[in-house]
Amino acid sequence: MFAGNKADKDKGVIPGDIAVWILIFAEISEFALFFVIFIVAKAHHPEVFAEGVLQLDTFSGISNTFILLTSSFFIAKGVQAIRLGRVKESQKWIIYTFLCGAAYCCVKAWEYHINSQRGIGIETDLFFTIYYYLTFNHLLHVMFGMCGLLWVYLRSRFNAYSIEQHEGLEAAACYWHMVDLAWIIIFPLLYVLI
Amino acid sequence: MVLNCTERNANKRLIITWLTLLMLTLVSVFFVEAATAYSISNNVISGVLVCFIVALKGRLVIDNLIGLRLANKNIRGVMLSYFYVLPLLIALGIIFPDIIVNMTSLGS
């Protein structure tokens, strides 16, 4: 949590900066388009989508949800720490978040491997075409977010952030939360709702 | 490390939010698994509950993890509306698939 207070509320403070929020709005709009396409395609082919959900490895989906939610908690702790001027502690939370991102990538790779062993590919049916498009696109966003985390970690190591100046770290944190928010919708759509 | 009262409350809020998010994930899976296990052919109720949970999870992340509860209200408004509109669309897709098919079909 950004340790906001009454003064922040009165000022209408923007976590990070406005540029990162424009990027976030563009990204979530892109995901929203995918979700609408998914809803429409599912309405047209309910049997294909119901069967597709049952073929996926739900455990991988749950694991990745837990990993991303935990990573969001870690980066929130990192921002909280830097707002209190605890640079070293903040660096520790950034690293934990980065490791969660790496774990997400590993689980996703494992899931794709299981799918390929079961003979499931991007051209299997419409469900899997959208599944691969959505999840791979999300995976790219996770990787991009990890690059951002690595960047702010390195900057932090060179004393770029302090209690007064930590806009860059907040911006990377906001982007990372966006990645988590997108997954909060992707998970039930692909793995849960039949 | 000595934590003052405000920090302790902030920490507590973060931890409770995180654990609630994990629990809600399991509950949403349980709803659908239970509906499937008890051969409830109509998944509308479990689907709508899952959509409600998605909206709730979105709000928790936006308010407590990103911290928009105490920040710019315009950005918070856009983010929250995203998490009200999309789960609603998904729920409508579950409840009224025929209407969506009619709206998105070309010709008869």
Measured in angstroms, the CA of B18 and the nearest CA of chain A are apart by 6
Nearest CB neighbour to B65, from listed A1, A35, A187: A1
- Is there a domain that residue B108 lies in? no
Which residue segment(s) compose the domain that B86 sits in? 5-103
Per-residue pLDDT tens over the stretch A85-95 = 999 999 999 99
Q: Which residue of A has its CA nearest to B1?
A: A86
**Chain B partners within 8 Å of A42 (Cβ):** 93, 97
- Is there a domain that residue A3 lies in? no
Per residue, the 3-state secondary structure of chain B, as one string, reads CCCCHHHHHHHHHHHHHHHHHHHHHHHHHHHHHHHHHCCCCCCHHHHHHHHHHHHHHHHHHHHHHCCHHHCCHHHHHHHHHHHHHHHHHHHHHHHCHHHHHHHCCCCC
Please report, for residues A93, A118, A163, B60, B108, the alpha-carbon distance to residue B53 in angstroms, rounded to integers and kept in the order given: 27, 31, 36, 10, 37
Kindly determine whether residue B67 and residue A3, on different chains, have CB atoms separated by under 8 Å. yes
- What CA–CA distance (Å, rounded) separates A182 from B43? 23
Positions in chain B whose pLDDT score sits under 70: 1-3, 39-42, 108
Measured in angstroms, the CA of B6 and the nearest CA of chain A are apart by 9
Per-residue pLDDT tens over the stretch A133-188 = 999 999 999 999 999 999 999 999 999 999 999 999 999 999 999 999 999 999 99
- Is there a domain that residue B48 lies in? yes
Nearest CB neighbour to A69, from listed B18, B62, B90: B18
- Is there a domain that residue A56 lies in? yes
Kindly determine whether residue A2 and residue B93, on different chains, have CB atoms separated by under 8 Å. no
Kindly determine whether residue B67 and residue A184, on different chains, have CB atoms separated by under 8 Å. no
Tell me what pLDDT residue B70 has: 86
- Is there a domain that residue A6 lies in? no
- Is there a domain that residue A84 lies in? yes
In the predicted model, is pLDDT for residue A122 greater than 60?
yes
CB pairs under 8 A, 24+ apart, for B24-33?
B24/B53, B24/B56, B24/B57, B24/B60, B25/A62, B25/A65, B25/A66, B25/A69, B25/A187, B25/B57, B26/A62, B27/B53, B28/A188, B28/A192, B28/B53, B28/B54, B29/A58, B29/A62, B29/A192, B32/A192, B32/A193, B32/A194
Nearest CB neighbour to A5, from listed B68, B70, B89: B70
Q: Are A192 and B28 in contact (CB under 8 A)?
A: yes
- Is there a domain that residue A134 lies in? yes
Backbone angles phi, psi at A163, to 5 degrees: -60, -30
pTM over 0.90: yes
In the predicted model, is pLDDT for residue A3 greater than 50?
no
- Is there a domain that residue B77 lies in? yes
Q: Could you identify the residue written with the tokens 């849960």?
A: A192
Q: How many domains does chain A have?
A: 1
- Is there a domain that residue B16 lies in? yes
Nearest CB neighbour to A1, from listed B10, B25, B87: B10
Tell me what pLDDT residue B8 has: 84
Kindly determine whether residue A36 and residue B89, on different chains, have CB atoms separated by under 8 Å. yes
CATH number at residue A164: 1.20.120.80
Which residue segment(s) compose the domain that A87 sits in? 15-192
**Chain B partners within 8 Å of A77 (Cβ):** 14
In the predicted model, is pLDDT for residue A77 greater than 70?
yes
Nearest CB neighbour to B65, from listed A8, A73, A192: A73
Q: Which residue of A has its CA nearest to B45?
A: A193
Kindly determine whether residue A1 and residue B25, on different chains, have CB atoms separated by under 8 Å. no
Per-residue pLDDT tens over the stretch A11-58 = 578 898 899 999 999 999 999 999 999 999 999 999 999 999 999 999
Measured in angstroms, the CA of B14 and the nearest CA of chain A are apart by 6
Kindly determine whether residue B71 and residue A3, on different chains, have CB atoms separated by under 8 Å. no
Q: How many domains does chain B have?
A: 1
- Is there a domain that residue A1 lies in? no
Measured in angstroms, the CA of A40 and the nearest CA of chain B are apart by 7
Count how many pairs of residues, chain A against chain B, have C-beta atoms within 8 Å. 141
